[in-house]
Amino acid sequence: MAQLLSIEERLNKAGIVLPEPASPIGCFANTVIHDGVVWVSGQGPINAEGELEKGKVGQDISRETARAHARLVGINILGVLNATLGGLDKVDRVLKLTGLINATPDFQHHPYVIDGISNLMVEIFEEKGIHGRTSFGVASLPNNITVEIEGMFTLK
């Protein structure tokens, strides 16, 4: 019989260290909790050095790099949830993710890019990481970041 891993063990197995959340860049909160749902405001790809990943996908950023950036945003969202809730074990499931991609008008691989975060959520939350999702390209994002993703999560 297979041994079930805790969320913390799955993070460790994946080599993920949760970052401290970045401060919002406008008049909004990183999270809002209401009626057992946590809304996480749009987060960007902040790397381990604390720098934003910037560029236009389909022009100077490949779809593979953008997918890695979407995974990085997922790690940042997990960090926000961890700081807000005092632990990811309080998350019941991932409900929905919305991914915006700073892309050229002819870019067509939006689902591929946002799979970077979707795969991470399934890796960490297993079947409770399967979620609804919307992804689309936009002409620009704050600070020229490559991707911005927001999420909705239910609490136990």
Mean predicted lDDT score pLDDT of the chain: 96
Grouping H, G, I as helix, E, B as strand and the rest as coil, residue 149 is strand
Whether residue 79 lies inside any domain: the answer is yes
Separation CA 76–CA 82 (nearest Å): 10
The total number of structural domains in the chain stands at 1
Calculate ∠ Cα 66-68-71, nearest 5°: 115
pLDDT score at 1: 46
Name 64's Cβ contacts closer than 8 Å, sequence gap at least 6.
none
Range of 150's domain? 29-155
> Which CATH number covers residue 96?
3.30.1330.40
Burial letters for 86-119: b for 16+ Cβ neighbours within 10 Å, e otherwise?
eebeebebbeebbbbbbbeeebebbeebbbbbbe
The pTM is what? Answer: 0.95
Whether residue 45 lies inside any domain: the answer is yes
Whether residue 14 lies inside any domain: the answer is no
Place of tokens 């891993």: 5
pLDDT score at 4: 78
Whether residue 69 lies inside any domain: the answer is yes
DSSP secondary structure string, 77-105?
HHHHHHHHHTSGGGEEEEEEEEEEEEB-T
Whether residue 15 lies inside any domain: the answer is no
Q: What is the pLDDT of residues 9-28, one digit of tens each?
A: 999 999 999 999 999 999 99
Whether residue 103 lies inside any domain: the answer is yes
Separation CA 11–CA 5 (nearest Å): 10
pLDDT score at 2: 54
Whether residue 68 lies inside any domain: the answer is yes
Name 105's Cβ contacts closer than 8 Å, sequence gap at least 6.
137
